[in-house]
Amino acid sequence: MGSHFIKYILVKYPGYKVINFDKLTYAGNLENLREVENNPQYKFVQGDICDREAVNKVVEENKIDAIVNYAAESHVDRSIMDPDVFLRTEILGSFNLLEATKNFNLKKMVQVSTDEVYGSIEEGSFTEDSSFSPNSPYAAAKAGGDHLCRAYFVTYKTPIVVSHSCNFYGTNQFPEKLIPFFITNLIEGKKVPLYGDGKNVREWIHTSDHCRAIDVLLHQAEAGNVYNIGTGKELKNIEITKLILSEMEMGEEMIEPVKDRPGHDRRYSIDCSKLENDFGWKAEKDFETGLKETIAWYKNNPDWWQPLKNGEHAEYFKKQYLERK
């Protein structure tokens, strides 16, 4: 998601200098930024937000005036297998960025967070005033980082805005998340493992709409505010699976019902009227169109995802598969 935002900002604000500070974990990929690597307004610095000194150095040396925190370990299944790195990145990493924002008097920090911190909701939608009730180690770690953001604003008036977004989809997404995982499995002729009864509900936003929302928060939102970023486009996993199958002209025999994810949240839903009322922001990308484009991108770019799925990460996918059998 961070690479989409960098490309978006460089086009929209040609005078801005963008520093991409990235640890390049398994999910980071400089290929995604190949088209801007020679742009004089863009610079890549490899580093970890958990490393306080490295964060301070990059902020000071580049006279950074704003931070957008896209850095996260983001995959729920991995957080169930191995939560340690999630806690460090989401909590300690956010803490280091908040410290830098405070100590170097930055103008703004935008925390990119998730609707998962609110937990599961059977009916209705969470607002920005809903309390946190995270259910996975990933969600609890994100909630920890977000609580720190709140505390820094209340205690130090650190200029922080927190965003809670629904599920992203689009191109260049590591092929472990539901949509790219299912698309790439089907391209490879493999079945798609649907957890539990397949009726868990998620709300979906295209990467382009998310970029527009973060742009608004970075430039217009008042410090101390929290905003939900959603689309209202709620779908059961089985519905998405059928849409993908139909677009790829394949049948439902490709669905493999598997054991449920432990602690699997039933439904996420957020009310994002605050974002619309304050700034007139609305999602623009129609889900069916965005999904078609995403499928076409994965079909046309096997060189991007095949090495990720079948190379050094093959072990992860195998382990996941065995867990769910």
| Residue 94 engages ligand TDX in binding (rule: CB under 6 A) | no
| Residue 76 engages ligand TDX in binding (rule: CB under 6 A) | yes
Out of 150, 177, 242, 313, the only residue in the binding site for ligand TDX (CB under 6 A) is: 177
To ligand TDX, the closest distance from the beta carbon of 140 in angstroms equals 12
Amino acid in position 57: K
From 212, 107, 113, select the one nearest 165 (Cα to Cα): 113
To ligand TDX, the closest distance from the beta carbon of 15 in angstroms equals 31
Select which of 42, 70, 138, 169 is catalytic. 138
| Residue 75 engages ligand TDX in binding (rule: CB under 6 A) | yes
* Among 46-54, 70-78, 216-224, 304-312, the segment contacting ligand TDX (CB under 6 A): 70-78
Compare residues 10 and 194 and give the one whose CB is closer to ligand TDX: 194
In the chain, DSSP assigns E strands to 18-22, 42-46, 66-69, 108-114, 160-165, 167-169, 192-195, 201-206, 226-229, 234-236, 255-258
In the annotation, is 293 catalytic?
Answer: no
* Among 78-86, 121-129, 175-183, 282-290, the segment contacting ligand TDX (CB under 6 A): 175-183
Cβ count near 123 (within 10 Å):
6
C-alpha distances in angstroms, 148 versus 97, 107, 177, 214, 302? 11, 18, 27, 20, 40
User: Cα separation of 105 and 93, whole Å?
Assistant: 18
| Residue 200 engages ligand TDX in binding (rule: CB under 6 A) | yes
Pair 158, 101: CB distance under 8 Å: yes
User: Cα separation of 123 and 292, whole Å?
Assistant: 29
To ligand TDX, the closest distance from the beta carbon of 70 in angstroms equals 11
In the annotation, is 116 catalytic?
Answer: yes
Out of 4, 78, 108, 202, the only residue in the binding site for ligand TDX (CB under 6 A) is: 202
Compare residues 20 and 200 and give the one whose CB is closer to ligand TDX: 200
| Residue 86 engages ligand TDX in binding (rule: CB under 6 A) | no
Q: How many helices (H) and strands (E) does the chain have?
A: 13, 11
From 59, 163, 151, select the one nearest 111 (Cα to Cα): 163
| Residue 178 engages ligand TDX in binding (rule: CB under 6 A) | yes
| Greatest Cα-to-Cα distance within the chain, rounded to the nearest angstrom | 57
Out of 114, 120, 135, 269, the only residue in the binding site for ligand TDX (CB under 6 A) is: 114
Pairing type for strands 66-69 and 160-165 reads unpaired
Select which of 48, 115, 203, 209 is catalytic. 115
To ligand TDX, the closest distance from the beta carbon of 207 in angstroms equals 13
Distant-in-sequence, close-in-space partners of 236: CB < 8 Å, separation ≥ 6: 198, 199, 200, 201
**By rule CB under 6 A, what string of x and - marks binding of each residue 140-169 to ligand TDX?**
---------------------------x--
| Residue 209 engages ligand TDX in binding (rule: CB under 6 A) | no
Compare residues 58 and 130 and give the one whose CB is closer to ligand TDX: 130
From 8, 13, 11, 6, select the one nearest 45 (Cα to Cα): 6
In the annotation, is 115 catalytic?
Answer: yes
Q: What angle do CA 201, 202, 204 make, to 5 degrees?
A: 145
Residues marked as catalytic: 115-116, 138
- Per CB under 6 A, residues contacting ligand TDX are 74-76, 114, 116, 167, 177-178, 181, 193-195, 200, 202, 237, 261
